[in-house]
Every structure is written in C-alpha cells, then in structure tokens.
C-alpha cells in the first residue's frame, strides 16, 4: 500500500522544477490537501502551478532569504488552512562561484555555496519548527542531502564546499531530530546520487561521466536517476506511515554508495 498524505498541506522549498516539482505532483497524487511550491524564477513558478492545478499555490523567492519559508508557510495557512510538512529541496552547484577542489577554491565560492545549500535549510527548518510548536501538533521535515556528503567522487564531482554543505545537513538534521522528537516533529534526509535535473546538465551531457555512472549507479541498467525515482521515498517520509521514523538518512542512489564505479580510460 502506498503512503497517503490525505488532508495534509506541504510546503516544498525548491518545488518549481526538477526533484521538487516531481515531489509536489506525487504529494497531490497521494491526496495532499494542498501544496505550496517556492522557486526563484517567476516563469518556472507559473509553469509549475499550471501543471499542478488548483490544489497548489506558490511564491517566488530566494531560499537563502530567511523570510522566504516564513512567507510560504503563511501562504499555506491562508490558502489551505493548515501546515503539516516541509520538504526542502532547494540547493545547487557552486561551480559558477568557484567551488571545486580545495586548492582551487575561490573566496566567493564559500559563502555562496553554503548560503543556498546549508543556510537555506537552516532558515526553512527554523520557520517550520516555529509554526509546528505554535500549533502544538508536531509535523514532518524532509531535507535534501546528497550521497556526495559521505561518498565522494573525486574525478568527476570534486566540489568540496558543496560536499561540506551536504554533510552538514546530515548532522544538522540528526541534531534537530533528537531535540524535537519529544514534541512530535520529525526530521529526515533524502540523499540522491546523480539525478537528471537542471543542476545536473553538465554531468548528463558528459560521455565520460555517463560511462562512469553506468557502473556507479548500476540499478536499472546503469543510468542517471530521474526525479520520480525519489518521489516514493519523499511521500513516505512526509506521511504518517513514517510516524515512527526520525533522524534518518535515506539514499536513493541507484547503488552509488555500494558500488565501485569504473573510471573510463
């Protein structure tokens, strides 16, 4: 039996494209009462809302702005009369800012990469917890991690600040899970490997990386993940079926963390 989100209202930070949009669709298919999606791009937001239909609303905002999640939760309460879960998907590569191997790292890469991948998670989780405590009924928080936080790939994915941020999400989530468990607030992490999203375009167009992925992510013939590969796990962790699950990290990785991965010649 698939997990049900019947009657729940969920905010998806980074929900207008890729993994977040796919999850929003899945949440509605699982009978969520409403979904609020947040993204930086106004056009992507409009397209997402047209796709999701009447049970969705959203706003444009930067996930690294402390006020964005606050506004999204307020919108959930106003539009759908409740707030039961937060799924934080927003993040991104810091390559354009100079993230990479440590000896090549630029000064700009550190704050920029941490802002979108770590600070944004802390801000959104804070906003969600404050609302859950005010409501007094608990809730679910799911943060997007990455297998690169503990299972590196030095040849093809050597962005060290990004890896640090994703590793920090695990520690942050577990610490918060322990603290808020008595209050009924659950925190978990979903950690994909390489998934075909707008962020992954560089990798998806590199034949050497695709050859590597064929053995590094060997499930289903050896392929890049699809956003929908993560939907079932996200739906489960946001649902009451996972009501006894907190502080956990679930890798949806096609076998990445248990496979050697052959570097092509």
Beginning with the edge strand found earlier in the chain, give each strand of the sheet holding 56-60 in spatial order: 56-60, 34-39, 9-13, 85-88, 139-144, 185-192, 249-252
Give me the active site residues, please: 162
Alpha-helix runs per DSSP H in 85-152: 109-114, 120-135
Q: What does the CA dihedral 92, 98, 102, 108 come to, rounded to 10 degrees?
A: -90
Cα dihedral sign, 98-104-110-114: positive
Strands (E), the chain: 9-13, 34-39, 56-60, 85-88, 139-144, 185-192, 249-252
d(CA 74, CA 149): 32
3-state secondary structure of 248: coil
**Measured distance CA(199)–CA(197) in Å, rounded:** 5
Q: Which residue has the tokens 């991690």?
A: 145
Neighbours of 127 (CB within 10 A): 23
Q: If 0-12 CB within 10 Å is exposed, 13-18 middle and 19+ buried, where does residue 171 land?
A: exposed
């Amino acid at each position: 039996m698939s997990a049900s989100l019947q009657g729940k209202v969920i905010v998806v930070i980074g929900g207008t494209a890729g993994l977040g949009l796919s999850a929003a669709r899945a949440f509605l298919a699982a009978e969520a009462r409403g979904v609020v999606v947040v993204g930086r791009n106004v056009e992507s937001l409009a397209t997402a809302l047209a796709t999701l239909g009447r049970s969705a609303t959203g706003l444009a905002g930067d996930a690294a702005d402390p006020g964005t999640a606050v506004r999204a939760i307020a919108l959930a309460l106003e539009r759908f009369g409740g707030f039961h879960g937060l799924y934080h998907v927003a993040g991104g590569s810091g390559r354009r800012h100079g993230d990479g191997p440590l000896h090549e790292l630029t000064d700009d890469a550190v704050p920029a990469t941490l802002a979108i991948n770590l600070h944004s998670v802390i801000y959104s989780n804070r906003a969600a917890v404050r609302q859950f405590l005010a409501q007094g009924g608990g809730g679910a928080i799911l943060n997007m991690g990455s297998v690169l936080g503990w299972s590196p790939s030095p040849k093809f994915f050597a962005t060290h600040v990004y890896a640090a941020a994703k590793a920090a999400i695990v520690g942050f989530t577990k610490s918060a899970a322990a603290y808020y468990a008595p209050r009924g607030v659950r925190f978990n992490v979903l950690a994909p490997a390489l998934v075909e999203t707008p962020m992954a375009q560089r990798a998806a167009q590199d034949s050497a990386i695709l050859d590597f992925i064929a053995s590094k992510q060997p499930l289903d013939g050896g392929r890049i993940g699809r956003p929908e590969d993560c939907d079932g796990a996200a739906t489960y962790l946001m649902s009451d079926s996972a009501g006894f699950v907190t502080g956990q990290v679930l890798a949806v990785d096609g076998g990445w963390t248990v496979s050697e991965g052959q570097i092509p010649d």
